């Protein structure tokens, strides 16, 4: 199964549980495409400056194309069809360590939100500054400690520790400028590495 087909399956599953509220014409207009680089993906989007690429990768390599689920929108320029950005995913891995990035724009047709996972607990909320930017954003970090520790899952208000991010896997959620919501999910990375991946996200500028 290709990455594009996997993405379609994920989105359809999300639609079924009501996390995403689409318009009635969603199925007819939505398209899935993939690109080898962030730059090529950005060129296909309108506006083009909504993507953020990781500059710190914790020694991991990109092992997937940049998948884009979007609405097709004809333009009046010679550049042909542009895509209104919707949901963008990419994966990085090496042996047992990995992280994935999901980006979406919240002001186009429908909006997604993080699905509550009973195995996850809050680690902390903090402010981070993105690479090459004076912009500071609020980030929320979770870990999957309740999966391995059932007694944590049944106690309300409990938290995971920073060490749990590496042991059980972590999740960082934030909203960057350009109205782009970003989720970074990690396995085998430490808390500090997960935060550095998010802090190292750089806005993709077409032509640079």
Residue 100 to residues 88, 133, 134, 161, Cα–Cα distance (Å):
11, 22, 25, 21
Q: Are strands 30-35 and 66-74 parallel, antiparallel or unpaired?
A: antiparallel
Phi, psi (rounded to 5 degrees) for 78: -75, -5
Could you give the CA distance from residue 82 to residue 74 in angstroms, rounded to a whole number?
Answer: 6
Mapped onto helix, strand or coil, the DSSP state of residue 33 is: strand
Residues of the chain with pLDDT under 50: 2-5, 7-8, 10-28, 109-112
| DSSP 3-state percent helix, strand, coil across the chain (nearest 5) | 25, 40, 35
Q: Delimit the domains of the chain by residue range.
A: 3-203
- The pLDDT of residue 13 is 43
pLDDT digits (tens, 9 = 90+) for 157-208: 688 999 999 999 999 999 887 678 899 999 999 999 999 999 999 988 876 5
Residue among 37, 100, 34 nearest 70 (CA): 34
- The pLDDT of residue 134 is 79
């Amino acid at each position: 199964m290709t990455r594009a087909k996997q993405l379609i399956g994920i989105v359809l599953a999300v639609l079924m549980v009501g996390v995403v509220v689409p318009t009635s014409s969603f199925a007819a207009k939505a398209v899935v495409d993939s690109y080898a680089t962030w730059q090529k993906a950005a060129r296909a989007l309108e506006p083009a400056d909504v993507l953020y690429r990781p500059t710190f990768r914790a020694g991991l390599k990109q092992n997937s194309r940049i998948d884009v689920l979007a609405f097709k929108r004809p333009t009046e320029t010679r550049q042909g069809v542009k895509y209104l950005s919707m949901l963008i995913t990419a994966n990085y891995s090496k042996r047992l360590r990995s992280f994935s990035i999901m980006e979406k724009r919240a002001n186009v047709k429908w909006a997604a939100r993080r699905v509550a996972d009973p195995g996850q607990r809050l680690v902390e909320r903090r402010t981070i500054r993105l690479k090459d930017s004076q912009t500071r954003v609020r980030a929320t970090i979770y870990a999957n400690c309740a999966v391995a520790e059932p007694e944590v899952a049944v106690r309300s208000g409990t938290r995971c520790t920073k060490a749990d991010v590496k042991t059980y896997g972590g999740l960082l959620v934030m909203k960057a400028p350009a109205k782009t919501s970003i989720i970074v999910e990690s396995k085998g990375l430490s808390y500090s590495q997960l935060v550095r991946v998010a802090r190292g996200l750089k806005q993709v500028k077409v032509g640079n």
